[in-house]
């Protein structure tokens, strides 16, 4: 090819010429692509989707101006038909984005392109993406399965399902001192559970958690049979217990499901809690893929906003085409707020560079097309995207999907496996509720909200808070399986840590600080690509800001 492939993709991008993957080979094979594209205006093609027909016309114009007889097909066809393997070999030698079939041998890694980051080793990122089969299995996605009519009976079924599922997890995973009993029965027999050693156990949904003036925590706990008032007191000296201190410090979320053990007051109207029980096991054992390929994560790209960081996007594209670590990235997870949307908040139109919603999605498709063809994107919606706001959210409509190649569309949340490693991807709108509800969760440390979600095995417990919920008869926000990797976005921060055997990733945004965030004094952490290897579970993060 007559020019550097990344340069020509960026040149076309800057002219708003969109290129499908099927056309990249044809463009790459041009002797002088810049010269051919200089004839675009002459044939009346200023911007938009490049088709074979348009390319043929430009080549014909170029040839006639240069007295050439050959057409673009004539330039490509002899090589493609007579020696297809040679085409592949030639392209892989260039290594700039075209791999048509698996390459027989691993290429040596070129350490010159390591971004000067010492924190990853070739052993941890051991396999090129194109050497492993694509293997995406979806275990849960609401798309096409939403059945709720939003009636009271749907809300009741949703909560019964939540209580039943999480109750079983608490019984299985936490060390209850004795089997739980129905709350109505405990209330009738309250006098049997008074004083030291006469412990009762119950599991239920939390109602109206609040603090007393003395710093004790008080809440209602409710099951199918009744409700009782629980009190967790602040203790002094040797009586202090770390787990209880943690709950006293953080608080509880309305509609949490948890277990309690303790005893009743003299009159039976207060249950003094001695211990609390959550449904998460102490340690999760991660699954590993047999393939050493990687998965990368970004979120909240907000294409269409004036604050979308386009120059940094192109820097990442260039990195994808040149860095050896990038060759191991088989999947790119886009965890919602892919575009800025329209009408999401008052006055948004003044902040938009692309005021048309479909125009925003077309532009995002064009930006994803610049990535190498070995990367498969998995895209889910967030609260800025063009799907219903109530969670679980189904995926994007077909008329949005049609602009995209190499993209798997899923709902929010989505529980899925990549080459045998289980991921839970959730946009993270409920982090707003966790910040409001728990004293230990802040926007500067959003990963604490993720720890709390896993601890509760629920992504968005609070009904009637900031997160709109769809009351499906089966609660789609229960974390049925503990994931190997749990990823969110939404808060425009960045984190990547291990929590009890699960890798927690707070995906970085591609949007600069907005005027609203400036007003709140919030500083985002944009343009960081988080990468996890599916075999070694080694992680690294590459900054592009
Ligand atoms: Fe966002
Ligand atoms: Fe969001």
pLDDT at 386 over 60: yes
488 CA to centre of ligand 2 in angstroms: 10
For 493-538, strand residue ranges (E) read 495-499, 502-506, 528-533
Ligand whose nearest atom lies closest to the CA of 299: 1
Query: Where in the sequence of the chain do the CATH 2.40.50.140 domains occur?
Result: 175-277
pLDDT at 105 over 50: no
381 CA to centre of ligand 1 in angstroms: 10
- The average pLDDT across 253-277 equals 96
242 CA to centre of ligand 2 in angstroms: 34
CATH for the stretch 175-277: 2.40.50.140
Nearest Cα to Cα of residue 526 among 504, 493, 496: 493
453 CA to centre of ligand 2 in angstroms: 17
- 21 pLDDT tier (thresholds 50, 70, 90): low
DSSP 349: G
Q: Which helix (H) or strand (E) holds 310?
A: helix 310-322
300 CA to centre of ligand 2 in angstroms: 7
- 83 pLDDT tier (thresholds 50, 70, 90): very low
Positive/negative CA dihedral, 47, 53, 55, 61: negative
236 CA to centre of ligand 1 in angstroms: 43
337 CA to centre of ligand 2 in angstroms: 5
pLDDT at 114 over 50: no
387 CA to centre of ligand 2 in angstroms: 13
489 CA to centre of ligand 1 in angstroms: 7
**Which two structure tokens, joined as six digits, stand for 461?**
């417990």
pLDDT at res. 97: 34
Measured CA to CA, the distance from residue 422 to residue 425 in angstroms comes to 10
432 CA to centre of ligand 1 in angstroms: 12
pLDDT at 509 over 90: yes
174 CA to centre of ligand 1 in angstroms: 35
490 CA to centre of ligand 1 in angstroms: 4
- Tell me phi and psi for residue 75, to 5 degrees: -75, -35
Ligand whose nearest atom lies closest to the CA of 517: 1
pLDDT at 182 over 80: yes
For 413-465, the pLDDT digits (tens) are: 999 999 999 999 999 999 999 999 999 999 999 999 999 999 999 999 999 99
Ligand whose nearest atom lies closest to the CA of 308: 1
For 284-302, the pLDDT digits (tens) are: 999 999 999 999 999 999 9
Ligand whose nearest atom lies closest to the CA of 514: 1
Residues with CB under 5 A from ligand 1 (ion): 300, 337
- Tell me phi and psi for residue 72, to 5 degrees: -65, -35
- 106 pLDDT tier (thresholds 50, 70, 90): very low
The CATH architecture assigned to 136-144+283-543 reads 4-Layer Sandwich (3.60)
Ligand whose nearest atom lies closest to the CA of 382: 2
Residue with tokens 């995973």: 173
- 103 pLDDT tier (thresholds 50, 70, 90): very low
466 CA to centre of ligand 2 in angstroms: 12
Ligand whose nearest atom lies closest to the CA of 492: 1
446 CA to centre of ligand 1 in angstroms: 13
Q: At CA 476, angle to CA 470 and CA 480, rounded to 5? A: 160
301 CA to centre of ligand 1 in angstroms: 7
392 CA to centre of ligand 2 in angstroms: 14
Measured CA to CA, the distance from residue 380 to residue 396 in angstroms comes to 8
Measured CA to CA, the distance from residue 450 to residue 331 in angstroms comes to 22
350 CA to centre of ligand 1 in angstroms: 17
Residue with tokens 């808060």: 491
Q: What residues contact 51, with CB distance under 8 A and at least 6 apart?
A: 23
Cα Rg, the chain, nearest whole Å: 28
Q: What residues contact 316, with CB distance under 8 A and at least 6 apart?
A: 527, 529, 544
Query: Where in the sequence of the chain do the CATH 3.60.21.50 domains occur?
Result: 136-144+283-543
312 CA to centre of ligand 2 in angstroms: 20
- 72 pLDDT tier (thresholds 50, 70, 90): very low
Q: For residue 232, what are the CA distances in angstroms to 64, 214, 263, 520?
A: 85, 11, 11, 34
For 233-255, the pLDDT digits (tens) are: 987 766 667 778 899 999 999 99
510 CA to centre of ligand 1 in angstroms: 9
Residue 518, CA atoms < 13 Å, CB-side half-sphere = 6
301 CA to centre of ligand 2 in angstroms: 10
């Amino acid at each position: 090819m007559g020019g550097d492939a990344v340069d020509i993709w960026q040149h076309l991008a800057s002219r708003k010429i969109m290129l499908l993957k099927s056309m990249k080979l044809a463009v790459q094979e041009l002797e002088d692509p810049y010269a051919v594209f200089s004839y675009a205006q002459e044939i009346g093609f200023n911007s938009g989707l490049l088709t074979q027909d348009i390319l043929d016309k430009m080549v014909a114009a170029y040839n006639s101006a240069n007295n050439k007889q050959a057409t673009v097909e004539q330039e490509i066809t002899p090589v493609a038909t007579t020696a297809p393997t040679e085409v592949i070999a030639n392209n892989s030698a260039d290594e700039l984005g075209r791999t048509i079939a698996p390459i027989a041998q691993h290429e040596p890694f070129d350490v010159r392109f390591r971004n000067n980051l010492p924190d990853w080793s070739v052993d941890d990122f051991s396999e090129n993406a194109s050497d492993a089969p694509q293997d995406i299995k979806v275990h849960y996605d609401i798309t096409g399965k939403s059945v709720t009519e939003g009636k009271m009976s749907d809300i009741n079924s949703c909560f019964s399902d939540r209580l039943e599922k999480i109750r079983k997890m608490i019984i299985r995973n936490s060390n209850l001192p004795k089997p739980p009993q129905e709350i109505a029965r405990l209330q009738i027999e309250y006098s049997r559970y008074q004083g030291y050693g006469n412990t009762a156990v119950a599991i239920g949904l939390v109602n109206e958690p609040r603090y007393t003036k003395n710093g004790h925590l008080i809440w209602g706990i409710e099951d199918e049979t009744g409700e009782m008032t629980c009190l967790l007191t602040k203790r002094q000296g040797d009586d202090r217990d770390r787990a209880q201190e943690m709950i006293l410090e953080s608080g509880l979320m309305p509609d949490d499901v948890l277990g309690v053990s303790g005893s009743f007051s003299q009159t039976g109207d207060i249950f003094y809690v001695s211990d609390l029980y959550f449904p998460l096991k102490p340690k999760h054992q991660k699954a590993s893929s047999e393939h050493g390929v990687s998965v990368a994560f970004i979120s909240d790209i907000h294409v269409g906003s004036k604050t979308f960081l386009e120059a940094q996007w192109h820097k990442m594209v260039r990195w994808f085409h040149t860095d050896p670590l990038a060759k191991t990235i088989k999947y790119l997870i886009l965890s919602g707020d892919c575009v800025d949307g329209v009408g999401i908040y008052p006055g948004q139109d003044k902040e938009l560079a692309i005021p048309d919603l479909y125009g925003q999605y077309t532009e995002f498709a064009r930006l994803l097309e610049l990535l190498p063809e070995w990367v498969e994107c998995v895209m889910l919606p967030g609260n800025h995207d063009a799907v219903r706001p109530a969670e679980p959210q189904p995926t994007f409509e077909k008329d949005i999907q049609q602009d995209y190649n190499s993209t798997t569309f899923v709902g929010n949340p989505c529980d899925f496996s990549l080459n045998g490693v289980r991921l839970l991807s959730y946009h993270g709108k409920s982090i707003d509720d966790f910040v409001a509800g728990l004293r230990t969760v802040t926007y500067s440390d959003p990963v604490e909200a993720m720890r709390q979600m896993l601890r509760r095995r629920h992504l968005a417990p609070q009904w009637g808070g900031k997160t709109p919920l769809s009351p499906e008869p089966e609660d789609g926000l229960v974390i049925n399986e503990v994931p190997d990797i749990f990823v969110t976005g939404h808060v425009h921060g960045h984190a990547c840590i291990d929590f009890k055997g699960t890798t927690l990733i707070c995906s970085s945004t591609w949007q600069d600080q907005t005027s609203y965030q400036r007003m709140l004094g919030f500083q985002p952490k944009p343009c960081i690509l988080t990468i996890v290897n599916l075999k070694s579970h080694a992680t690294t993060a590459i900054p592009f800001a």
